[in-house]
Amino acid sequence: MKSHILGFPRIGSQRELKFALEAYWRKTCTETELQQQAAAIRLRNWTLQKKAGLDYVSVGDFSLYDHVLDMSVVLGAVPARFRSSGKFTLNTYFDMARGNAEAGIAAMEMTKWFDTNYHYIVPEIEPDMTFHYSSDILLQETTDALQAGFNPKPTMVGPLTYLALAKAQKGVNKWDVLESIVEVYGELLEELSEHADCIQLDEPIFCTDLPDEIRDRAEQVYAQLRDRAKHSRLLLGTYFGGLKENLELTARLPVDILHIDLVRAPEQLDAVLEKWPRHKMLSLGLIDGRNIWKSDFSTLLKTVEKAKQKRETDQLWIGTSCSLLHAPVSLEAENALPPELKDWMAFAVEKCTEVKTIAQIAQGFHEEQRLAENVASIKNRRTSLLAVDPAVRNRTEQADAGMCRRNRPFAERKKCQQQQLNLPPLPTTTIGSFPQTREIRKIRKAFREGLCDEKTYTRAMQQEIHSVIQEQEQAGLDVLVHGEPERNDMVEYFGQQLNGFCFSQYGWVQSYGSRCVKPPIIYGDISRSGPMTVDWITYAQSQTDKPMKGMLTGPVTILCWSFVRDDLPRKTVCRQIALAIRDEVQDLEKAGIGIIQIDEAALREGLPIRKDEQADYLNWAIESFRLATSGVSDKTQIHTHMCYSEFNAILHAIAEMDADVISIEASRSDMELLQAFEQFDYPNDIGPGVWDIHSPRVPTVAEICGLIQKALKVIPKEQLWINPDCGLKTRGWTETRQALKNMVNAAQAIRNTL
């Protein structure tokens, strides 16, 4: 029974890769130094896997930026705009990922890897692109691992997933290039087969609704690859869900080992045991690659037993559900977590040991001590008083449909709100945050580290709020915000004040390139100890006669951007957060705040990949938002914000959120998304962003007027708000001042024509 993982985090336990990359980009470290750091991380990762007792070490999971981009490089799929400089260098690679402002070359697009928070660089297929085996990094790393005494299992994104995720230029059918791509994959496999007895091709696409092109051609593609891989075994990695209706097809593929995700889709085991040919190997993805909890060995061993009834032991492999790319590196350095909670967790390093231990026990080796430890720890977690708050359980159960409805329909609410707020047509506002200067970060850090007392800190924040308000008054905005200077992160800020959350010190996970996030950990029932934002917002309101918009993060976003406990359904956890936010919304209202924005930046990304699972998610997600926001009187205006623009699939759900006003990103796509809103006849107020805040460029008054006019073609003037695409946290003051002025002037100019 072989044990393996599908991939290991590449950032290093102390984010060494991030710092090396950023130093290289700043030109304070050489390419050689960067490559040395990278090699050191790979060596450490392999050593950890070997030490844990795994039969293989994963190779090819490392990348200097992104493994999908690496595949594009291997295939020679380098778009023409990066080829003009001739030779392909490391800088060309980074230009593809990040663009090159000096040379005026745009980066390739980046988007989310399935339903994770990892972002990959979208392959581009150009009309005259030819594909050649163009980089032997995978081969090199494989031989490096061999030479260093490891048993390498090279891994790569499979051709079907690669092409499914690619974007073709207009007039190109990307599936036309499948054959040439498979040819290059074949060459690569042939080379690798000299050095590795097992090669992993990741095809998570099989856990999605498959395009016909894959349905029709998968068998042929894999027959070809099987051929080229000679005596190496091919392992097909499927994960992020169940194979469902694609099982029959998958079972026909001529690969040697099928890996399935039994964390996301434990129910598929029976069907897979039935359909996957008996003489072939099956890899059971039992250890959660996307969460931080210790596995429950007893339960997993039962699953293995079940598989053993249908298969010989040596035909079964034990693995992680997916790559550990989505988990933090190691628990070892964590010394601030409460010991009881730390004992419930397993990061990547610990998960490697779990994989091995399960395989050992399943084969009858004596692992009494490890098993006993696991049983004790799981039992402790199950019975711990830390995780359960009867009052929260009660309240969550009792929350009913009535609590998820505003008193009156939007049209009537709008009238009372207008009486109250007396806003001009096309009201102007911002999304919440204002530039976070070095001084703000410095004082926040000092306060966090106990180097500055609360009074000094509060005074500094109030000063900042005061000045942000003056700026907004000078710009002439209608609805003001306090600027969020006290927040480091829109989820962490609330997590830190809510019961049921804890925080690791080094639990970083790669989001893209050198960018990492450290998600809060939800371990217990969630409640609020007291008001979280009321003092800041009421202070802000006291500084102006204009309406102040209170600013909160919504339940779905808090859920999606955290590591969530796995002993309660996600929707229950979401509901608990919703109730806590509801209390905050009501406290703000009581304190005289008439406009409250509840951001749901992550609502879209929580959407399941499978169409047949989306409705259920949207149901409970929207219900949670409504639970959080419906406790106020009709006079109180509820805003929400989402910073992306692919709304088509979820527009009906967005409307059901019944926010009085929604602000969305739109300027980057030149208001394209509004068509969807028009066709759907979106009923409530909308603020499509008119300023792309992702770059320091200041839009002119004329440009903004153009966008507003475009918006007015599809949105009635009574429903339209004017705002930027997103928060201004990462912007500087110079461009912010200018752009806000232009935005207000543009709104004014158009108002005069209405």
d(CA 660, CA 633): 12
Cβ pair 55, 4 in contact under 8 A: yes
User: Is 578 a binder of Zn ion (CB under 5 A)?
Assistant: no
Question: From the list 138, 643, 728, 739, which residue makes contact with Zn ion (rule: CB under 5 A)?
Answer: 643
Q: 378-417 b/e with 16+ CB inside 10 Å = b?
A: beebeeeebbebeebeebbeebeeebbebeeebeebbeeb
Say if residue 149 carries a ligand binding annotation.
no
CB count within 10 Å of CB 556 equals 29
Partner that binds at residue 551, options ligand GLN, Zn ion, none, CB closer than 5 to 8 Å by kind = ligand GLN
| Residue 226 assigned as binding residue | no
Alpha-carbon gap, residue 575 to 339, rounded angstroms: 28
- Catalytic site positions: 694
Phi, psi of 297 (to 5 degrees): -60, -40
Q: Which does 729 bind (CB under 5 to 8 A by kind): ligand GLN, Zn ion, none?
A: ligand GLN
* CA pair distance 740, 723, nearest whole angstrom: 9
Near ligand GLN by CB under 6 A, which window of 22-30, 427-435, 436-444, 745-753?
427-435
727 part of the interface to ligand GLN, by CB under 6 A: yes
Binding string, residues 574-593; x marks residues near ligand GLN by CB under 6 A: --------------------
Decide if residue 726 touches ligand GLN (CB under 6 A): yes
Pairing outcome for strands 509-512 and 515-517: antiparallel
Compare residues 10 and 729 and give the one whose CB is closer to ligand GLN.
729
The tokens for 100 are 């090159």
Closest CB to ligand GLN among 188 and 643? 643
The contact pattern for Zn ion, residues 706-745, with x = CB under 5 A and - = no contact, is --------------------x-------------------
- Confirm or reject binding of residue 639 to ligand GLN (CB under 6 A): no
Instruction: Flag whether 665 is marked binding.
Output: yes
With CB under 6 A as the contact rule, the residue among 17, 188, 263, 431 that binds ligand GLN is: 431
Does 432 bind ligand GLN (CB under 6 A)? Our answer is: yes
Contact predicate 693/670, CB 8 Å = no
Among the listed ranges 96-104, 143-151, 632-640, 723-731, the one in contact with ligand GLN (CB under 6 A) is 723-731
Binding segment toward ligand GLN, per CB under 6 A, in 14-22, 32-40, 392-400, 426-434: 426-434
Q: What is the 3-state secondary structure (H, E, C) of 147-184?
A: HCCCCEEEEEECHHHHHHHCEECCCCCHHHHHHHHHHH
Least distance from C-beta 728 to Zn ion, angstroms? 10
| Cα 723 to Cα 720: distance, rounded to the nearest angstrom | 10
- Residue 644 burial (CB count, 10 A): 18
Please tell me what DSSP assigns to residue 719: G
Question: Parallel, antiparallel, or unpaired: how do β-strands 110-112 and 119-121 relate?
Answer: antiparallel
Residues 240, 323 contacting (CB under 8 angstroms): no
Q: How far apart are the first and last CA of the chain?
A: 74
Binding segment toward ligand GLN, per CB under 6 A, in 176-184, 377-385, 430-438, 731-739: 430-438
Site string for ligand GLN, 533-552 (x = CB under 6 A): ------------------x-
How is residue 287 written in tokens? 């250890």
By the rule CB under 6 A, 355 interacts with ligand GLN: no
Cα–Cα dist 31/44, whole Å:
20
Task: State the CB neighbour count (10 A cutoff) for residue 345.
Answer: 23
Separation in Å, CA 247 to CA 311, 657, 691: 18, 36, 46
603 binds Zn ion (CB under 5 A): no
What part of residues 11-40 is at the interface with ligand GLN (CB under 6 A)?
A: none
624/663 with CB nearer ligand GLN:
663
DSSP H helices, 243-363, are 247-252, 269-275, 297-310, 339-342, 348-362
Look up residue 331 and give its amino acid.
Answer: L
Shortest Cβ 549–ligand GLN spacing (Å): 10
Helix ranges (H only) for 670-732 are 674-680, 701-714
∠ CA 312-315-316, rounded to 5°: 100
641 labeled part of a ligand binding site:
yes
At its nearest, how many Å lie between ligand GLN and the CB of residue 281? 44
Q: Name the one range near ligand GLN by CB under 6 A: 63-71, 140-148, 190-198, 431-439.
A: 431-439
- Applying CB under 6 A, which part among 70-78, 327-335, 471-479, 726-734 lies near ligand GLN? 726-734
To the question of whether residue 17 is assigned a binding role by annotation, the answer is yes
* Token pair listed for 104: 């005026």
According to the annotation, is 16 in a ligand binding site? yes
Tell me if 604 contacts ligand GLN by CB under 6 A.
no
536 φ/ψ angles, rounded to the nearest 5 degrees: -65, -45
Please give the helix or strand (H or E) that residue 625 lies within, else none.
helix 611-629
The residue written with tokens 């008193």 in the block is 407
**Binding ligand GLN by CB under 6 A: which of 433, 527, 624, 630?**
433
- Considering CB under 6 A, how many residues would be counted as binding ligand GLN? 13
Q: Is residue 726 part of an annotated ligand binding site? A: yes
Q: Which stretch binds ligand GLN (CB under 6 A): 10-18, 207-215, 429-437, 519-527?
A: 429-437
Q: Least distance in Å: CB of 646 to ligand GLN?
A: 15
Least separation, in Å, of the C-beta of 699 and ligand GLN?
18
Min. distance of Cβ 554 from ligand GLN in angstroms?
Answer: 10
H or E stretch including 382?
helix 368-383
Our CB check for ligand GLN shows the closer of 430 and 684 to be 430
d(C-alpha 742, C-alpha 754), whole Å: 19
Q: Which residues bind Zn ion (CB under 5 A)?
A: 643, 726
Question: Which residue ranges are tagged as binding site?
Answer: 15-18, 112, 431-433, 484, 515-516, 561, 599, 605, 641, 643, 665, 726
Question: Which residue ranges are tagged as binding site for 5-methyltetrahydropteroyltri-L-glutamate?
Answer: 15-18, 112, 515-516, 561, 605
Question: Which residue ranges are tagged as binding site for L-methionine?
Answer: 431-433, 484, 599
Q: Which residues bind ligand GLN (CB under 6 A)?
A: 431-433, 484, 490, 551, 599, 601, 641, 643, 726-727, 729
